[in-house]
Structure 1
Amino acid sequence: MNSSPLYKQIAKRLKKEILEGNLASGDAIPSENKLAETYNVSRVTIRQAIDLLVSQELLEKVQGSGTYVKERKIEHDIFRLQGFTEEMATLKKITENKIIKYEMKIPSDSIQKILQIDEEEPTFFVSRLRYVDGVPLVLENTYLPVKLFPDLSYEIMQGSKYKFIEENKNWKIKQSFQEIIPIIPDEAVTNLLNLKEAIPILKVKLWSTLQTGEVFEYSELFFKSDEYKFKIVANR
């Protein structure tokens, strides 16, 4: 027999609905009357359960509108140059990289120009699915010139690329250039990111340089827009 207060039992059930995705970020929850009817309890009990979940930052009340599942998007500061693993570590998130593809590849002409490499010069092409707290958040397709990274390995790319560059290669990363484009993902990206449907997502084209001016990577990243948001601070 469950001895915990009834409102805590209701809160636990609602929390389970949220964590399992049955109530998504930004969704309005049913009215107090509807929930009281569903769980066969009083509105006072429902109100206590909701207040508990608000205090746990799972729900938020909007005056004159209702109660909503609080958005838990990860904020990315576009003006800060840091690796994905480093960024998630500052947020106390657990990351994991799943290698989808690891091969040598001759990139397209446009990518060759960005990387400033000769025609037919090989690159490592690495496709990684990047997980945060067990959830696939970003698909990253990266090209790295073989002449710069002859020692690159599958195992290295399962960890932090930037950490390898700065700590193992002892190189300094200078800057990153990014283009952000909203797109409708194809079926492959939709499936890898575990999207329920082909909803708009953010595609980022990115290339980064060392202090020497050399371009050491070209990447295309696909971010789940329901889990990730970009933050821009503009000063005047």
Structure 2
Amino acid sequence: MQKKYEYVADVIKQRIFDQTYPPKMLLPKQSEFAKEFDVSKITVKKALDGIAREGLIYKKSGLGTYVLGNTLINKRSDAPANAFNGLYNQQGADHVTSRAIKFSIDFPTADIQAKLGIEANEPVYNILRLRQLDGKPFILEHTYMPIKLVPDLSNEILEKSIYDYIHHVLKLQFGGAYRKIHANLPDANDIKYLNADKTTPILEVEQIVWLTNGKNIEYSTSRNLYDARSYTVVDLNDI
């Protein structure tokens, strides 16, 4: 079932796409949207924050929120570099399917211990998933999560959205993430699951995600073919 803020965001985005809200237009106030959609201003703010992360609108201190428009360098498959909602929500449940290639419980190596801030005797999920977009291989994700922070993870959850499970079932919120985006050479898994050849450049996002209490909940790498997806940043000079 679609959440209220998602519905509000979808309607506003459609108005941007069809030029009901043209580029450089000042959007209605949050209170006006709240009245129109019969939701709280917090719901409207959450919707607008998500649209801003997609680079469609921008906020000017003391002035309001303006439409940036759908920039010509954007592709539908692109993702905001600072997003926390995951592929399932970014691209839509009807377009994304996930297949667990590996799902095991392991004791962490010294490297994973350091990245997650845990001890050697604290087990982790070791997850390798192929994410497909409209039935085609899209992203290969390798994820480690401490079991004590994400209990009862299942194959059913892996086939949908781990982040939705964390946010809506476990009621945990992300505090932030450190992300490193870089080019890499293909490995055996890229060749097998992404249909790369031995010289296809790979784009990799390596990240550590932590909760609002400061505990690291995820260390992961996401890999895709160089031309399958890009990561976007909206950089505003608000001086």
**TM-score higher than 0.5:** yes
Check conservation: 1:187, 1:198, Cα contact below 8 A: no
Larger Rg, first or second structure (1 or 2): 1
Query: Structure 2: how far apart are the matches of 1:202 and 1:171?
Result: 29
Q: What residue is the counterpart of 2:90 in the other structure? A: 87
The letter for the 2-side match of 1:123 is V
Q: Does 1:163 align with 2:164?
A: yes
Q: Does 1:78 align with 2:68?
A: no
Q: How do 1:1-236 and structure 2 match up within 5 A?
A: 74-89=77-92, 94-236=95-237
1:197 positional shift: 4.7
Query: Structure 2: how far apart are the matches of 1:147 and 1:79?
Result: 26
Secondary structure of the 1:130 match is strand
Check conservation: 2:150, 2:166, Cα contact below 8 A: no
Which runs of no fewer than 5 residues in structure 2 stay unpaired?
1-73
The letter for the 2-side match of 1:107 is P
Which runs of no fewer than 5 residues in structure 1 stay unpaired?
1-70
1:190 positional shift: 1.6
The letter for the 1-side match of 2:167 is E
Which stretches of structure 1, 4 residues or longer, exceed 4 Å deviation after superposition?
none
**What TM-score does the superposition give when structure 2 sets the normalisation length?**
0.64
1:204 positional shift: 1.2
**What TM-score does the superposition give when structure 1 sets the normalisation length?**
0.65
Query: Structure 1: how far apart are the matches of 2:135 and 2:105?
Result: 29
Check conservation: 1:186, 1:198, Cα contact below 8 A: no
The letter for the 1-side match of 2:145 is L
Secondary structure of the 1:87 match is helix
Q: How many residues align?
A: 165
The letter for the 1-side match of 2:136 is V
Secondary structure of the 1:219 match is strand
Check conservation: 2:107, 2:121, Cα contact below 8 A: yes
Secondary structure of the 1:162 match is helix
1:224 positional shift: 1.9
Root mean square deviation, CA, Å = 2.1
Check conservation: 2:143, 2:219, Cα contact below 8 A: yes
Query: Structure 2: how far apart are the matches of 1:105 and 1:192?
Result: 23
1:72 positional shift: 5.7
Query: Structure 1: how far apart are the matches of 2:189 and 2:150?
Result: 28
> Identity of counterpart residues, as a percentage?
29
Secondary structure of the 2:163 match is helix
